[in-house]
Amino acid sequence: MGGTILHINAVGLMAALEEGMDRSLRGRPFVIAREGAPRAVVLDLSPEAHRGGIARGMMLSLAQRRFPGLAVRPPRPERCRAADEAMWKVGMSFSPLVERAGQGHLYVDLAGTERISGPPQDAVQKIRLRILDETGVSPALALSSNKTVSKVATRVFRPGGFIALMPHEERGLVRLQPVELLPGVGPALKDRLNLLDIDDIGGIADLSSFEARAIGPRGPDLVARAQCVDESPVNPEPPERRCMREGILLEPDTIEPEPLRLRILYLAERLGFAARREGLGGRRLTLRLDYSDGRFASATARQPWLLAGDSEISEAAWALARRAMERRVRVRRLSVELSDLGSAGPELDLFEPADAKAQRLQTVLDRVHGKYGLFALTPCAFLGAGIAPPAEAFAGT
């Protein structure tokens, strides 16, 4: 029996929608960017532009120098959101288990839908035609036994291919693919694997349990995924209803502002790093203080923009802490929660920050943290106050 987990990957959604609206762009190199904005970057691009050496996130000025006469079109986030919503509705018409996995990406669990839609392979073709009819976009689709295999397959058969894998075919396909196609392998981890002479997913799958732990705290999970083992279900819960939470036990408990501020900085770094790895940000921030006498206090604030950077999360959390600290009792535990989540990736209009320098610094810090651990770089405030990073920072090392 074949798999029932479908991954829908609308590759280059912004560019595909623009090309559908303006037929003169078909077969031509073009990019999506705010041409008049200072330090504008490429938000999306056509396959022809990609083959010409242009990449998403590249400075527009550099792209134009590399490709004279490059066509530039403005971003239209409303059309992208409408297309994404239309794709989701198509998926929901075939199964109640549809998971949003970023703009233009959906997982659909077709198990148990045969009586209504026919075999999963036939249902996928119906889904493709419906999406094409309603959005003008022809996504890549892959059907397999789990989410990891389906996602890898849509990266292989992009931009508009389809494959239905039988269980005995999955490992053979996945093993031969470059490591960067495995979900969870970013630029930093790819460089580390290259040093180990691992350039395909099969090299990860063959690692022993000891070797898996050596490549990082998520190494065993990564090896399991490389072996096509992924038991994560399709989660229909929308991102805005999910939350991310980090907490820390204070030893010793304290009421002094500076130790509390530094612990909040630590939690903000962990929370921000986790959110950015998933391409997410949050509009709602909640801080909770648990006192040594068993009582607690909390404060919540909702921002008009997505919080994703360490500094903005820590500043907002510290402001909440000052609101919540109304008692002269020692604090035993701190926790910070980020909710009302949304995509903070380049497919939205959030990739051209007003403070480009701070964003570039944040990106570099994330690369270091991803490669060497969260406390490979320690804030000067910790050192100046003579406070060591919390013990949780070294858990599992």
CATH number at 330 reads: 3.30.1490.100
Q: Is residue 332 part of a domain?
A: yes
pLDDT at 142 over 70: yes
In sequence order, which residues have a C-beta less than 8 Å from that of residue 315 and are 6 or more positions away? none
Given this model, what pLDDT does residue 88 score? 94
What is the widest separation between alpha-carbon atoms in the chain? 70
Q: Are residues 159 and 218 in the same domain?
A: no
- In DSSP terms, 307 is beta-bridged to 282
Residues 302 and 327 sit within 8 Å (Cβ to Cβ): no
Packed helices 77-92 and 13-21: angle between N→C axes, nearest 10 degrees: 100
Q: Are residues 18 and 139 in the same domain?
A: yes
Q: Is residue 231 part of a domain?
A: no
Report the helix count and the strand count for the chain, using DSSP H and E: 16, 12
Last residue of a domain, one of 174, 197, 216: 174
Q: How far is CA 33 from the centre of its chain?
A: 21
Q: Are residues 52 and 158 in the same domain?
A: yes
Please tell me the distance from the alpha carbon of residue 256 to that of residue 251, in angstroms, as a whole number: 13
Look at residues 347, 346, 352 and name the one whose alpha carbon lies nearest to residue 14.
347
Given this model, what pLDDT does residue 124 score? 95
* CATH number for the domain that contains residue 31: 3.30.70.270
Q: Are residues 159 and 186 in the same domain?
A: no
Residue 178 DSSP symbol:
B
Last residue of a domain, one of 149, 174, 199: 174
Range in 8-17, 255-264, 367-376 the model is least confident about:
367-376
Residues 82 and 23 sit within 8 Å (Cβ to Cβ): no
Q: Is residue 136 part of a domain?
A: yes
Please tell me the distance from the alpha carbon of residue 160 to that of residue 158, in angstroms, as a whole number: 5
Pairing of strands 243-254, 296-307: unpaired
Q: Are residues 25 and 96 in the same domain?
A: yes
Give the helix/strand (H/E) hosting 125: helix 120-135
pLDDT at 332 over 50: yes
Q: Is residue 72 part of a domain?
A: yes
In sequence order, which residues have a C-beta less than 8 Å from that of residue 357 and are 6 or more positions away? none
Q: Are residues 192 and 150 in the same domain?
A: no
Look at residues 119, 116, 124 and name the one whose alpha carbon lies nearest to residue 141.
124
Structure tokens at 170: 């999955």
Given this model, what pLDDT does residue 343 score? 66
Concatenate the DSSP letters of all residues of 192-253 into one string: HHHHTT--BHHHHHT--HHHHHHT-TTHHHHHHHHTT---PPP--S-GGG-EEEEEEEEEEE
Which value, in Å, is the radius of gyration of the alpha carbons in the chain? 23
Q: How many domains does the chain have?
A: 3
Q: Is residue 310 part of a domain?
A: yes
Residue numbers of the domain that contains 150: 1-174
Tens of pLDDT along 169-227? 999 999 999 998 998 787 777 888 888 889 999 999 999 988 887 776 668 888 999 99
Residue 108: how many CB atoms within 10 A of its CB?
A: 30
Q: Is residue 233 part of a domain?
A: no
Please tell me the distance from the alpha carbon of residue 325 to that of residue 334, in angstroms, as a whole number: 12
Q: Are residues 148 and 23 in the same domain?
A: yes
Given this model, what pLDDT does residue 381 score? 60
Q: Is the pTM of this model over 0.75?
A: no
Q: Are residues 275 and 159 in the same domain?
A: no
Q: Are residues 11 and 133 in the same domain?
A: yes
Tens of pLDDT along 281-304? 888 999 999 999 999 999 999 988
Confidence of residue 375 (pLDDT cuts 50, 70, 90): low
pLDDT at 258 over 60: yes
Q: Is residue 71 part of a domain?
A: yes
Instruction: Give the N- to C-terminal CA distance of the chain in Å, as an integer.
Output: 42
Confidence of residue 237 (pLDDT cuts 50, 70, 90): confident
In sequence order, which residues have a C-beta less than 8 Å from that of residue 118 and are 6 or more positions away? none
Residue 46: how many CB atoms within 10 A of its CB?
A: 25
pLDDT at 275 over 90: no
Q: Are residues 215 and 303 in the same domain?
A: no
Last residue of a domain, one of 164, 195, 226: 226
Average per-residue pLDDT for the chain: 84
Q: Are residues 7 and 114 in the same domain?
A: yes
Can you give the length of the chain in residues?
A: 397
Q: Is residue 232 part of a domain?
A: no
Q: Where on the phi/psi map is residue 104: left (φ > 0), alpha (ψ -120 to 50), or beta?
A: left
Q: Are residues 200 and 156 in the same domain?
A: no
Structure tokens at 114: 């045969």
